[in-house]
Amino acid sequence: MGKLFGTDGIRGVSQRRTGRRPGLQGGPGRGPGPGQGKKPGEKPLVTIGKDTRISGDLLKGSLIAGLCTAGADVLDLGTLPTPGVAWVTVDEKADAGIVISASHNPFEHNGIKIFNGQGYKLSDELEEKIEDVVLFGHNDVGRKTGGDIGKVSYVPRRPSWTTSTTWSPPSPATGRSAHPGGLCQRGSYTTAARLFDRFPKLQTDVINADPDGVNINDKCGSTHIDSLAAMVKAGGYDIGIAFDGDADRCLAVDENGVLIDGDQIMAACGLDRKG
């Protein structure tokens, strides 16, 4: 466990942390990592996505400022689940990816997750180097000027970003169209809805798709599954799916509203891959 990085990035109550250390969010952008291995004059590319928390734009703006000041270009992905940011980072051949989210935590919390160019979490050693930049100013890459500063791109999402890695669901044993009651958590609702709408035989009803910046994880998502279970059971659905705030994990309920936990989901995925 590092000074800033925990088990899954940097997390805390957003304004409390930024009020104490204004340079925190920009600091990771000025540290080592994205620019390593680049040729002279070649700018690294970093993707950034976020969930729907009200503090997300504030943190994103600070991070983009830090990255561009350090000479990195930024691809702003807007609101996108954590796995989506990792996938786009690899697909776009970016040097790093950043997610602004505090997962299942209340809205006043926020965090920064960083991926390498292969879409994986950073090593402990690299996280320590970033902490040294943020906390002590060690090995800061400096501030670029003129044409050396980075720029920001806002590229429309390609259809492949949300559809190419999904599976085609089998027809339900009942012979009727499947009705997964997708509790598409307020942090990931748009991507989840597009994914399920891709399948013509799959009728999806979405709930808790009304993000307002402060209602993420409020009585919904993978930590509050009771409402989904009741909906599935009362409505005669085949399955219900609940995502956490940044949709890097989910739980499910069966047609009787009974919880399908992570171990069961992993076992099913393993059996499917085994063929």
Active-site residue set: 103
Strands 259-260 and 250-253: antiparallel
Quote the CA–CA distance of 154 and 45 in Å, as a whole number.
13
Which residue shows structure tokens 């993707």? 47
**SS3 state of residue 120:** coil
CB atoms within 10 A of CB 259: 15
Cβ atoms of 81 and 191 closer than 8 Å: yes
Phi, psi (rounded to 5 degrees) for 227: -65, -35
The answer for residues whose C-beta is within 8 angstroms of residue 154's C-beta and 6 or more apart is: 76, 78
In 3D space, the residue among 214, 273, 274, 204 whose CA is nearest the CA of residue 240 turns out to be 204
